[in-house]
């Protein structure tokens, strides 16, 4: 970390919010920088059409303005597992908080199911006006719904429900301190992080009004604005208005965020919270002393001088008393360390969208973080001339009433205040994010994935990602791929594709040239290891170049084999790509078998690092040695010695030939002479015959006369035939010097076509017979396919076993047989395509292992496209109190609302007791 950091800093690594006319924070920022007022003003005709009483509309005390949150009645209930009735009862504040919390975590690039640390939640909510207006005294509820109504309505359950639905295991804390709720929540979250009670924290608030949607009453000297505008610090400022919004920030210890490659939006340098106590005019009055002390304490905790603060996001409610007291308190706090004047801008987001009550503080933080990020300060609206009680010229402050470039001291720093009725004051010191640590080098091919709970949502997510890529042409594609893989939960409907460039990704997303899968449950994986004939020069060369684990295993095996082979395998495999000499050497059994073993073993180790642990295995001839080694029957050193000896002995046997025929075993046996052996049964209609050259030529001639094409295999010897008999005894003697152990992972025996037994695996006779006996690969595949949730993965060059296994499978089982070496020109592309196919099939990969050799950064990418529907219980016939609330001045309405809240508390208490 930088020398300017002291170890107590907290990084803001993600944010999400829902505000009027703002579906996301990008739209919110556009409104802020453009100086848009997000308050709705209504005509008489509009209000009358909505059923507002004509006497209310005609009242000179009724202000026809409101802060309206779009779609507050909408919710993606099925995404979070709610029934329709549960969603209808649930407080809209809870609903919106759930969705926003999900978006905030995704914006930070974290999947709570995959994250090893503790994620906490610290937040609050406003008054449940939905309960008061729509559910309280609603005759449609019976006693059986009382508990559901309690859990859906009480503030206490918003946090724990979020933790339950998002699988968060850190502290789940409901915070309430009126208007300072969400800033207090952020402060407490920072403390929780520093005390290591959690490793990531979500902090913020949800505040949704269902009452003040048509307008409100105001009286002279009240807190409500008489004209629907919040004129913070202005001479005409006479109050504010209240509205709806939700904001959440995702926090993490800065040192951890830097180490983990998080996208840092800003840094919290320090924070403080206090209370005014009783030394003020009244309970609801603000206090210069209390505010000044909390600001000074926050600056001290941050370890910064006031002169380095160049912007203050103020509480700024535009009340005649509150604004002057706030500037006086700020000045007192700043004057402790500086006498400078007019150097620090001040503004209030309340001038854009009114007072969001419990969500006001986090909204100010979000505005300030966006300002730091974009290096510009949005205008504080409606400021023309200062409140006469504020002498700005003799303070460090000026009101920023136009979009301004943020050119203050570096690093840019800001403060944000929030003061609650009752005297709980909070202040936070922010600093711009440190320069991002450059991402490291990456493999040339990137695996990008998308998933959703429905096909429609998946299509929307596809479109959103393509548009995001278009809008961010400098985006690091490797980091985007990393974020999608590690920072998103995987759902049933899936897409995946592999590409090199951002333009390729956009084309794939828009054209639909992607792999698609629909797999809701986890799958088991069986490894298939091919045998001789699959080898080729440069096999896995791109993997060797770019995958450290594979390279290390090949290097290790090559060094161990060199004394037995008298050659470094790497020189043959990865020397000249077109060397006739190397190609000829690789055809020799003595080198082909060790080369195949090494490549397949190294690939298996790489797959396991990527989280693919084999449930079972099957190998074809020499491939069974790889399976046995992974199962622990041989050590790697002993396996390499065995493979080298096996290849050398087979190379010394008399020459022979092999023929593949598209016939079942029982069909081809009558055509075979006594000199021939059935070397392999690879599929129900695919066999291999082995023996002397003349006998094979004779069989081939018979097949041609019956118009049955036989294909000669490129081998120099007749493997798995009588011609291997001279090899068996020397190999058996060699095996007796090798320690053989019981297998720890089940695998299929080539000899029996059934599961290997401990007796077989530990018998030198078995491994000697294995050289000679028929390879019953088809029977082995049939055994594996008995497990309906099994995926077969070919681990080796090419796709020979994949094609054979598919001939043994029926219907959808064929789709669960995957080759990861089907592109001979680029085996790394094939490998990553194999990973994509596994993921699409429902196999869970370890993405931390997939990126173990890379340093990647998380990026903010489009979040889940919720499919919202209306969940709303309409208000019952208005009670006398509700009618009165809508028709009397706000001071009396406040008393009635207080009474209603008291009744609500009694109702909830009774529900708890019952």
- 230 is annotated as an active-site residue: no
Q: Is 52 helix (H, G, I), strand (E, B) or coil?
A: coil
Element (H, E) at 40: strand 40-41
Tokens 């990647």 belong to residue: 856
Rounded to 5 degrees, what angle do the CA atoms 54, 41, 205 make?
A: 110
The string of DSSP letters for 557-604 reads HHHHHHHHHSS-HHHHHSS-TT-HHHHHHHHSHHHHHHHHHHHHHHHH
Phi and psi at 7, nearest 5°, equal 100, -5
Per-residue DSSP letter, 685: T
The rounded distance, in Å, linking the Cα atoms of 127 and 147 is: 19
Per-residue DSSP letter, 669: G
Contact by Cβ (8 Å): 230, 347: no
**Among residues 40, 112, 153, 179, which one is catalytic?**
179
The rounded distance, in Å, linking the Cα atoms of 193 and 76 is: 31
The rounded distance, in Å, linking the Cα atoms of 844 and 340 is: 59
**Among residues 315, 493, 620, 720, which one is catalytic?**
315
Per-residue DSSP letter, 355: B
The rounded distance, in Å, linking the Cα atoms of 254 and 9 is: 6
The rounded distance, in Å, linking the Cα atoms of 336 and 18 is: 38
Q: Which residues contact 568 (CB under 8 A, 6 or more apart)?
A: 558, 562
Residue 824, both tokens: 């001979």
The rounded distance, in Å, linking the Cα atoms of 572 and 570 is: 5
**Among residues 22, 418, 621, 830, which one is catalytic?**
621
The rounded distance, in Å, linking the Cα atoms of 206 and 104 is: 13
Task: Extract the runs of DSSP E, i.e. beta strands, from 471-538.
Answer: 493-499, 515-518, 524-529
Give CA separation, 348 vs 294, 365, 393, 604, in Å: 19, 11, 19, 59
Phi and psi at 12, nearest 5°, equal -90, 110
Contact by Cβ (8 Å): 99, 75: yes
Give CA separation, 538 vs 554, 555, 574, 587, 595, in Å: 13, 15, 5, 13, 11
Per-residue DSSP letter, 755: B
**Among residues 355, 427, 717, 770, which one is catalytic?**
355
Tokens 């205040």 belong to residue: 417
Contact by Cβ (8 Å): 386, 253: no
Residue 700, both tokens: 């081939």
The rounded distance, in Å, linking the Cα atoms of 247 and 679 is: 69
- 557 is annotated as an active-site residue: no
Phi and psi at 814, nearest 5°, equal -65, -30
Q: Is 91 helix (H, G, I), strand (E, B) or coil?
A: coil
Q: Which residues contact 637 (CB under 8 A, 6 or more apart)?
A: 560
Residue-level length of the chain: 914
Largest CA distance in the chain: 114
- 179 is annotated as an active-site residue: yes
Give CA separation, 21 vs 101, 279, 352, 908, in Å: 19, 41, 11, 34
The rounded distance, in Å, linking the Cα atoms of 251 and 188 is: 11
Number of other residues whose CB lies within 10 A of the CB of residue 19? 28
The rounded distance, in Å, linking the Cα atoms of 653 and 633 is: 27
The rounded distance, in Å, linking the Cα atoms of 807 and 683 is: 6
- 355 is annotated as an active-site residue: yes
The rounded distance, in Å, linking the Cα atoms of 317 and 232 is: 6
Q: Would you please indicate which residues are annotated as catalytic (active-site) residues?
A: 179, 315, 355, 621
């Amino acid at each position: 970390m930088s020398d300017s950091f002291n170890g107590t800093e907290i990084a803001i690594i993600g944010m999400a919010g829902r505000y009027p006319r703002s579906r996301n924070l990008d739209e919110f920022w556009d409104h802020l920088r453009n100086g848009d007022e997000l308050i709705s003003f209504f005509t008489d005709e509009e209000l009358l059409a909505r059923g507002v009483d004509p006497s209310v509309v005609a009242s000179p005390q009724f202000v026809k303005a409101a802060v309206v949150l779009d779609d507050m009645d909408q919710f993606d209930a099925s995404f979070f597992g709610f029934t329709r009735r549960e969603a209808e009862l649930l407080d809209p504040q809870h609903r919106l908080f759930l969705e926003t919390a999900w978006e905030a975590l995704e914006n930070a690039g974290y999947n709570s199911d995959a994250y090893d640390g503790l994620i906490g939640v610290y937040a609050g909510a406003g008054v449940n006006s939905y309960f008061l207006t729509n559910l309280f005294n609603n005759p449609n509820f019976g006693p059986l719904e009382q508990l559901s109504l309690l859990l859906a309505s009480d503030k206490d359950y918003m946090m724990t429900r979020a933790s339950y639905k998002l699988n968060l295991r850190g502290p789940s804390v409901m915070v309430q301190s009126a208007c300072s709720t969400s800033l207090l929540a952020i402060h407490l979250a920072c403390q929780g992080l520093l005390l290591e009670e959690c490793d990531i924290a979500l902090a913020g608030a949800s505040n949704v009004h269902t009452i003040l949607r048509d307008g409100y009453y105001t009286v002279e000297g009240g807190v409500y604005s008489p004209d629907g505008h919040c004129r913070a610090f202005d001479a005409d400022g006479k109050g504010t208005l209240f509205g709806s919004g939700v904001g959440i920030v995702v926090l993490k210890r800065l040192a951890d965020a830097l180490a983990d490659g998080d996208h840092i939006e800003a840094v919290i340098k320090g924070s403080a919270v206090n209370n005014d106590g009783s030394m003020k005019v009244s309970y609801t009055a603000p206090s210069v002393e209390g505010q000044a002390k909390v600001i000074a304490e926050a600056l001290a905790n941050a370890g910064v001088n006031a002169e380095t603060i160049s912007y203050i996001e103020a509480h700024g409610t535009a009340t005649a008393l509150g604004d002057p007291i706030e500037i006086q308190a700020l000045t007192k706090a700043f004057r402790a360390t500086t006498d400078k004047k007019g150097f620090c801008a001040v503004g209030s987001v309340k001038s854009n969208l009114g007072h969001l009550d419990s969500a006001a503080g986090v909204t100010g933080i979000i505005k300030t973080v966006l300002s730091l990020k974009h290096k510009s300060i949005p205008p504080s609206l409606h400021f023309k001339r200062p409140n006469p009680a504020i002498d700005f010229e003799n303070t460090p402050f000026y009101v920023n009433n136009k979009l301004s470039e943020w050119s203050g001291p570096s690093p840019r720093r800001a403060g944000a205040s929030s003061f609650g009725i009752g005297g709980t004051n909070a202040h936070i010191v922010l600093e711009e994010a440190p320069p991002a640590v450059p991402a490291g080098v990456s493999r040339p091919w990137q695996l990008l994935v998308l998933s959703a709970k429905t096909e429609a949502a998946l299509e929307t997510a596809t479109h959103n990602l393509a548009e995001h890529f278009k809008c961010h042409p400098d985006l690091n594609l490797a980091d985007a791929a990393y974020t999608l893989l590690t920072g998103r939960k995987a759902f049933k409907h899936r897409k995946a594709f592999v590409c090199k460039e951002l333009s390729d990704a956009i084309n794939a997303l828009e054209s639909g040239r992607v792999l698609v899968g629909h797999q809701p449950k986890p799958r088991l994986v069986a490894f298939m290891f091919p045998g001789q004939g699959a080898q080729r020069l440069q096999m896995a060369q791109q993997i060797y170049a770019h995958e450290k684990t594979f390279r290390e295993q090949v290097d290790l095996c090559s060094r161990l084999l060199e004394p037995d082979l008298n050659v470094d395998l790497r020189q043959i495999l990865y020397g000249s790509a077109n060397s006739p000499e190397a190609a000829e050497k690789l055809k020799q059994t003595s080198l082909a078998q060790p080369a195949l073993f090494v490549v397949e073993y190294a690939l298996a180790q790489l797959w396991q690092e990527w989280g693919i642990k084999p449930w079972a295995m099957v190998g074809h001839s020499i491939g069974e040695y790889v399976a046995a080694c992974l199962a622990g029957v041989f050590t790697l050193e002993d396996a390499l010695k065995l493979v080298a000896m096996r290849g050398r002995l087979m190379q010394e046997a008399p020459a022979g030939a092999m023929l593949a025929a598209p016939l079942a075993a029982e069909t081809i046996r009558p055509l075979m002479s006594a000199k021939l052996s059935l070397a392999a049964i690879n599929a129900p209609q695919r066999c291999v015959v082995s023996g002397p050259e003349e006998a094979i030529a004779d069989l081939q001639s018979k097949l041609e006369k019956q118009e049955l094409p036989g294909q000669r295999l490129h081998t120099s010897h007749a493997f798995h035939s009588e011609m291997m008999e001279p090899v068996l005894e020397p190999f058996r003697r060699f095996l007796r010097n090798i320690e053989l152990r019981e297998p720890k992972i089940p695998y299929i025996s080539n000899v029996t076509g059934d599961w290997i037994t401990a007796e077989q695996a530990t018998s030198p006779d078995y491994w000697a017979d294995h050289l000679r006996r028929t390879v019953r690969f088809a029977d082995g595949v049939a055994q594996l396919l008995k497990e309906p949730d099994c995926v077969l993965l070919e681990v080796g060059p090419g796709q020979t076993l994949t094609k054979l296994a598919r001939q043994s499978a029926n219907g959808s089982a064929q789709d669960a047989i995957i080759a990861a070496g089907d592109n001979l020109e680029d085996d790394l592309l094939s490998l990553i395509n194999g990973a994509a196919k596994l993921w699409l099939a429902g196999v869970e990969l370890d993405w931390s292992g997939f990126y173990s050799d890379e340093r990647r950064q998380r990026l903010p990418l489009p979040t889940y496209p919720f499919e919202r529907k209306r969940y709303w219980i309409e208000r019952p016939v208005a009670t006398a109190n509700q009618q009165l609330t809508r028709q009397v001045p706000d001071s009396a309405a406040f008393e009635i609302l207080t009474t209603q809240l008291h009744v609500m508390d009694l109702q909830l208490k009774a529900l708890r007791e019952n």
